[in-house]
Amino acid sequence: MYFELILAVYMGCAGFVAAGVLGSFYQLLTNTPPRFHLRLETLVGTVSSCLMCAFAGPFIIMRNAIRGRRIENRPIGWLVASSTIAGMWSICSGLVMMRFAVGFIHGI
């Protein structure tokens, strides 16, 4: 029971860290913050923006939620709901990353 809980927290942290690193790297390269926007001009742009949204999603949600709370004075429930969604999303993306890492290590 506790092992699964600790593992879920670890995967959530790993997923959120990966989202933050990816979002910050995107902002470093493009000088604009990441957002949920699909580029449909080319196939490469569409695939890369889908992957960006899939893995940097928790970072984008939390950045928007914190800015909404500070600037637009949204209610605290909005921040709690956004944090819950970002946390669950982080666990899912952390699980994908962990499976990829374990598969990569075992493949060597």
Distance CA 62, CA 76 (A): 13
Q: pLDDT tens-digit profile of 63-93?
A: 999 999 999 989 999 999 999 999 999 999 9
Q: Which secondary-structure segment (H or E) carries 10?
A: helix 2-30
- Distance in angstroms (rounded) separating the CA atoms of residues 72 and 66: 10
- DSSP letter at 72 equals S
Q: What is the pLDDT of residues 14-42, one digit of tens each?
A: 999 999 999 999 899 889 888 888 878 88
Whole-model pTM? 0.84
